[in-house]
Amino acid sequence: MRIQCPCCGERSLDEFTYYGDASVTRPNAFAPTAMSDYHAYVYQRDNRDGDHRELWYHAAGCHACLVVTRNVRSHIISDVRIAREVARERDAAALPGSTS
Amino acid sequence: MRRQSNRLGEGGIIDRSKPVTFTFDGAPYQGYQGDTLASALLANGVTLVGRSFKYHRPRGVLSAGSEEPNALVELRSENYREANTKATMVELFDGLSASSQNRWPSLRLDFMSINSLLSPIFVAGFYYKTFMWPAALWEKLYEPAIRRAAGLGRAAQGEDPDHYEKATAHCDVLVVGGGAAGLNAALNAARSGARVILADENAQLGGRALDDGLPIDGAPPVQWIDSVREQLEREPNVVVMRRTTVFGVYDTGTYGALERVSDHLAQAKHGFPRQRLWRIIAKRTILATGATERPIVFGGNDRPGVMLASAFRTYLNRYGVAPGRRIVVFTNNDSGALTAAEAALAGLEVVAIVDSRRGLSAEISKAASTAGTRMISGGVVIDTVGKAKLSGVVIRTGEGEDVRLSCDCLVMSGGWNPNLQLTTHLGGKPTWNDAIAAFVPGTHPPGMSVAGAAGGSFGLKDALDEGAKAGSEAVASLGWKVAGPASPRADNQPYGIRPLWLVEASKSKALVDFQNDVTAADIALAAREGFQSVEHLKRYTTLGMATDQGRTSNVNALAIMAKATDRSIPETGMTVARPPYSPVAIGALAGHHRGKSFKAVRRPPSYAWAKANGGVFVETGLWLRPAYFPKSDERDWFETVCREVKTVRSAVGVCDVSTLGKVDVQGKDAGEFLDKIYMNGLKTLPIGKARYGGMLREDGIFMDDGTIARLGEHHYFVTTTTANAVKAFQHMEFCAQWLWPSLDVQLISATEQWAQYAVAGPKSRDLLRKIIDPEFDISDEAFPYLQVGKITVCGGIKGRLFRLSFSGERAYEIAVPARYGDALMRALMDAGQEFGVCPYGAEALAVMRIEKGHISGPELNGNTTPRDVGLGDMIAKKKDFIGRVLGERPGIIDPDRPSLIGFRPVDKNMRMRSGAHIVPLSAPATAANDQGYLTSVAYSPTVGDWIALGLLKRGPERIGEKVRAVDPVRNEEYVVEVVNPCFVDPEGEKLRG
Ligand SMILES: [Zn+2]
């Protein structure tokens, strides 16, 4: 498999390290439901067919974490984004008063 | 040496001016440059080349290509020996030594052929059924006996003396297969200027076009093939890779290929590998892998002398070899006509054409009359006659009469299977095409198109046209400008296949899978016993599971199973091919990554000094670290390590600690960031101070530890353990980029940028005073324990000083840019002479940390929490950090969990060993009574006794209690006392000086 790194171009899989599911968000540690929230965050994963958003770290390249959208059946990658940008959008959307 | 009795007077593209001598089973033979081992053996009239896997039936050459299931030989000798090599793919070279396999004591006289007489019990599923009970006998009795009876070749026993390499190539278009379709595809694609790679598994390009000899542009095909090859080899944008098998398709246009660089040579040329493993990255791929002819399944179809018709034509046209003199052709399609015509042209006697189709095909009858041969329409061969060599065949005519004809070669054609394996590697499913009675590629991997026989177009004209079209379309789709597709003139041949899957009138063994000895009867048995799905059939009978991956057998087997279970072939299914398409040596997959080159070696900055001063090294991950520095009068490492420890505790020692991971952390939010990834508070760390830090996983388990030094308002310098340096750094990157993307923090790994030495012992400050430039005050008032600061050494070299101690002594870590590391080591040792300095290694370091009760790798083992290792008090209460929430789970904070404590043996002479388990004094040593184990053990020269750290259930509450250490691995048991885990200077007075 090859991943189109937005910084480095298309690179072979052996340059990357897998960092798991990009669709989970680290919960608030002080919420009353923190224990069950963290249990779900750390241990519970869906095993769905189709597109999967996942984190790949370009260890032997630019050191960027990437959010890769990969079809788990065909391995076809439909989207690659810099994780920090995706995470900033995620955090902005989670702010109180945000419209989304 | 014998004459090449079956070599034709002329023809073939071998070089008759270059005779080549070789041996087979010790006997010398001669062939020509350009021969394969198979063609040379046939030229010499050698038809018996091996014994079959299970029944030890005599076997000859079936094919002329990589699909060969029979003619498997051992090549070369001693550690160069390689087993199970296809004689059809071995290029002859001078001095080649080959031997037959699977026979004992000799090929002609094989005692094991008794298996053949026992064959009624050797049926499908025999292993499963017979050796069920008693299971205890399996390993000792059944398996060795079966292996002796049913072995293949012998592997070499020693290390492979050849070497292998790996390479990567990129191209716009990869063309797999250099036959008519592939050559024309490459030519049409290359004209655009796009980068093209053409890979073909054979030494010579041309494929079946070369084998069949049909005219291209009105001339013998070799002319067109040579001219295309020359054009391609001239083009700078084209790479022609011969002897290269593309064996696997991987995601995103990645292909695995094996180039047999030196297999055709007696010995690899100096500096050249035996084979080269290629990773080819292609934007487009054209599959032009051709097709493989199917055998016909009839009684005795595996007798030496029975051959695929296509192979027969290859031996005639490519090698000028007549596999026999009296030929019977058995066919279910029009290619029998071509075969008979070629044989007649070569002056061979065509005894009969047996055509299983009823009603005369015009092609065949024309060929029969031209060859002056007997035509048996609607007939089948039901048996073969002879022992280790064919002497005749029994034919049942269309009228039901049995006729015996004498012949020495039977050539058969059951039709053709497209070589579509590479289209299925990413999960593509082939589809059935009734018109050609074969599977054709269904869905292709992304970027792949198929041309010629690989897609089911068996005619020469079609192959050329489809190749041209695929070549120009591939480059056009990538945006290259290309003129319309161009092809030379050629004709298609009629095919007219009518399937003949099984000659049911046969009584004797009819082989389906030649290599694994699976017969039509085995398939019928599997069907009766309910193993009707293809995957069950395969596993029950082992069909298609040999090294040829069933290339000549899968479709025949499917069809026979379909008939037996009254289903259509597509209903019955299709086994999916997986990489590799043909076997790849493990050596090629390893490449240079073996022995000392298996992984990189990292040498710490003081390596050269340590090496010159007798250091003994130990591998720690990739690092080579000095373990200890023996003196000439010391008896063993034990004495050395004790001396090093005593020197540090009484004077001063120097240890290279550069291997610790180092991360430079900067930014406005650096402190806040570190607060989130360490369990203890760091934001409050004053500038110029260092603090111990523990890093947890989100599940609350201890991940790594180290020190955090604050060098400035927004500048921290963090160390990690040697083993986790990469992992911890990547974890920090992940946290900064994904978990807290808005924090202003930047990270860089500085592990290799700094040489860092621990200078430890009561005289450490005195030593450093001579190294550190005088303007820097390192008195205890100015530089107390846990102080850090920037310094210069040896007259202006910038460095850093950390007052840290792992040994428990007054100690410092001094760091300079790595390029000064060697010089600083020498300077420290020179300056330290007057204080009795010694270098110390990883062993003494470990002894001293155990003496102090400091945790390390054995305690941070991926199962322990901060509380387990006595650091529960450090866990911050108010802040959020990774591991905070799940680290408070009831199971994780259970006080019954084994936690860190010290141990000493009650019998002072008893040596403890790590790994021993702890049970109560009077309880039996059972898993239920297991209360913990010893993690780190050392002889402490300071204490004068063996000491240990360990994890014990409610350990800290049990100081003074005696328990038993049980070591079932070493068969030892002894009583130990639970003690405080800090064995030396528990108050830390020496530390602060
Ligand atoms: Zn990158």
pLDDT digits (tens, 9 = 90+) for B288-329: 999 999 999 999 999 999 999 999 999 999 999 999 999 999
Residue of A nearest to B447 (CA): A76
The minimum CA-CA distance between A25 and chain B, rounded to whole Å, is 8
pLDDT at B135 over 90: no
| C-alpha of residue A71 to centroid of ligand 1, in Å | 21
CATH 3.30.2270.10 fits A2-94, yes or no: yes
Distance CA B497, CA B357 (A): 8
If DSSP states are collapsed to H, E and C, what string results for B227-240? HHHHHHHHCCCEEE
Instruction: Provide, as residue numbers in chain B, all residues whose Cβ is less than 8 Å from the Cβ of A34.
Output: 885
Of the residues A26, A49, A80, the best mutation for testing chain B's interface (the one with the most B CB atoms within 10 Å of its CB) is A26
Confidence at B105, pLDDT banded by 50, 70, 90:
low
Distance CA B633, CA B642 (A): 14
Per-residue pLDDT, B122: 57
- Strand B448-450 versus strand B275-287 pairing type: parallel
Distance CA B678, CA B705 (A): 9
Q: Which of residues 33-62 of A touch B (CB under 8 A)?
A: 34-35, 37-39, 41-42, 55, 57, 59
Q: What is the dihedral of CA B827, B828, B830, B836, to 10 degrees?
A: 180
| C-alpha of residue A58 to centroid of ligand 1, in Å | 5
> Does A2 contact B252 at a Cβ distance shorter than 8 Å?
yes
Instruction: Provide, as residue numbers in chain B, all residues whose Cβ is less than 8 Å from the Cβ of A27.
Output: 885
List the domains of chain B with CATH numbers. Answer: 15-126 (3.10.20.440), 164-291+418-477 (3.50.50.60), 293-416+495-572 (3.50.50.60), 895-992 (2.40.30.110)
Instruction: Provide, as residue numbers in chain A, all residues whose Cβ is less than 8 Å from the Cβ of B885.
Output: 27, 29, 34-35, 37-38
Mean pLDDT of B773-802: 97
Which of B252, B699, B742 comes nearest A1 by C-beta?
A: B252
Which of A1, A76, A87 comes nearest B741 by C-beta?
A: A87
Tokens 């155990």, residue?
Answer: B850
| C-alpha of residue A63 to centroid of ligand 1, in Å | 6
Contacts of B603 (CB under 8 A, 6+ apart): B623, B624
Distance CA B814, CA B794 (A): 12
pLDDT at B463 over 70: yes
> Does B741 contact A91 at a Cβ distance shorter than 8 Å?
yes
What is the full DSSP assignment across B503-563? -TT--S--EEETTTTEEHHHHHHHHHTT--SHHHHHHHH-TT-STTTTTTTHHHHHHHHHH
> Does B734 contact A65 at a Cβ distance shorter than 8 Å?
yes
Would you say the ipTM is above 0.90? yes
pLDDT beneath 50: ranges in chain A: 99-100
Per-residue pLDDT, A100: 43
Alpha-carbon dihedral sign for residues B857, B862, B867, B872: positive
Q: How many CB atoms neighbour CB B484 within 10 A? A: 8
Distance CA B825, CA B606 (A): 6
Tokens 């009574």, residue?
Answer: B929
The structure tokens listed for B286 are: 């054209």
Alpha-carbon dihedral sign for residues B34, B37, B39, B41: positive
Q: Which of B49-53, B154-158, B447-451 has the lowest mean pLDDT?
A: B154-158
Per-residue pLDDT, B370: 79
Distance CA B851, CA B808 (A): 9
B370 phi and psi angles, rounded to 5 deg: -60, -40
pLDDT tens digit sequence for B384-407: 999 889 999 999 999 999 999 999
Question: Of B870, B901, B866, which Cα lies nearest the Cα of B887?
Answer: B866
pLDDT tens digit sequence for B577-598: 889 998 899 999 999 998 888 8
| C-alpha of residue A16 to centroid of ligand 1, in Å | 9
Beta bridge partners of B653: B760, B838
> Does B734 contact A76 at a Cβ distance shorter than 8 Å?
no
Confidence at B549, pLDDT banded by 50, 70, 90:
confident
By CB atoms closer than 10 A (0-12, 13-18, 19+), residue B362 is exposed
Give the DSSP letter of residue A63.
-
pLDDT at B219 over 80: yes
User: Looking at the complex, does the CB of residue A5 fall below 8 Å from at least one CB of chain B?
Assistant: no
> Does B884 contact A29 at a Cβ distance shorter than 8 Å?
yes
pLDDT at B76 over 90: no
Of the residues A19, A82, A86, the best mutation for testing chain B's interface (the one with the most B CB atoms within 10 Å of its CB) is A19
Instruction: Provide, as residue numbers in chain B, all residues whose Cβ is less than 8 Å from the Cβ of A85.
Output: 741
Instruction: Provide, as residue numbers in chain A, all residues whose Cβ is less than 8 Å from the Cβ of B663.
Output: none
pLDDT at B367 over 90: no
The Cα angle at residue A69 between residues A67 and A73, in degrees rounded to 5: 140
| C-alpha of residue B736 to centroid of ligand 1, in Å | 16
Of the residues B429, B696, B885, B888, the best mutation for testing chain A's interface (the one with the most A CB atoms within 10 Å of its CB) is B885
Confidence at B129, pLDDT banded by 50, 70, 90:
low
pLDDT at B948 over 50: yes
Mean pLDDT of B344-349: 93
Per-residue pLDDT, B546: 83
Of the residues B172, B250, B252, the best mutation for testing chain A's interface (the one with the most A CB atoms within 10 Å of its CB) is B252
pLDDT tens digit sequence for B160-180: 889 999 999 999 999 999 999
The minimum CA-CA distance between A58 and chain B, rounded to whole Å, is 10
Beta bridge partners of B24: B27, B98
> Does A57 contact B880 at a Cβ distance shorter than 8 Å?
no
Interface residues from chain B to A (CB-CB < 8 Å) = 250-254, 279, 281, 426-427, 446, 698-699, 730, 733-734, 737-739, 741-742, 880, 884-886, 888-889
The structure tokens listed for B331 are: 């066919």
User: Looking at the complex, does the CB of residue A26 fall below 8 Å from at least one CB of chain B?
Assistant: yes
CA distances from B685 to B322, B662, B677, B787, B801 (A): 89, 18, 15, 11, 17
Distance CA B625, CA B844 (A): 12
Which of A29, A75, A84 comes nearest B737 by C-beta?
A: A84
Mean pLDDT of B797-807: 96
Per-residue pLDDT, B359: 77
Distance CA B415, CA B438 (A): 8
Per-residue pLDDT, B115: 60
Distance CA B181, CA B206 (A): 9
Question: Of A57, A52, A78, which Cα lies nearest the Cα of A7?
Answer: A57
Which of B250, B426, B733 comes nearest A63 by C-beta?
A: B733
> Does B737 contact A87 at a Cβ distance shorter than 8 Å?
yes
Beta bridge partners of B965: B918, B974
| C-alpha of residue A5 to centroid of ligand 1, in Å | 5
Name the residue ranges covered by the structural domains of chain A.
Answer: 2-94
> Does A57 contact B730 at a Cβ distance shorter than 8 Å?
yes
> Does A57 contact B733 at a Cβ distance shorter than 8 Å?
yes
Distance CA B535, CA B538 (A): 5
Question: Of B265, B244, B260, B240, which Cα lies nearest the Cα of B201?
Answer: B244
Residue of A nearest to B889 (CA): A35
Which of A41, A75, A87 comes nearest B738 by C-beta?
A: A87
Instruction: Provide, as residue numbers in chain B, all residues whose Cβ is less than 8 Å from the Cβ of A29.
Output: 880, 884-885
The minimum CA-CA distance between B466 and chain A, rounded to whole Å, is 27
Per-residue pLDDT, B414: 97
Question: Of B976, B979, B934, which Cα lies nearest the Cα of B959?
Answer: B979
| C-alpha of residue B722 to centroid of ligand 1, in Å | 26
User: Which amino acid appears at position A1 of this protein?
Assistant: M
The minimum CA-CA distance between B692 and chain A, rounded to whole Å, is 24
How far apart, in Å, do the first and last CA atoms of chain A sit?
Answer: 34
**Global confidence as pTM:** 0.90
Per-residue pLDDT, B360: 67
Crossing angle of helices B180-190 and B221-234, rounded to 10°: 30
Which of B884, B886, B888 comes nearest A42 by C-beta?
A: B886
Instruction: Provide, as residue numbers in chain B, all residues whose Cβ is less than 8 Å from the Cβ of A12.
Output: 254, 279, 281
Which residue would you say has higher pLDDT here, B158 or A89? A89
> Does B886 contact A84 at a Cβ distance shorter than 8 Å?
no
Do the Cβ atoms of B795 and B773 come closer than 8 Å?
A: yes
What is the full DSSP assignment across B669-731? THHHHHHHHSSS--TTPPTTBEEEEEEE-TTS-EEEEEEEEEEETTEEEEEE-STTHHHHHHH
Which of A37, A39, A88 comes nearest B741 by C-beta?
A: A88
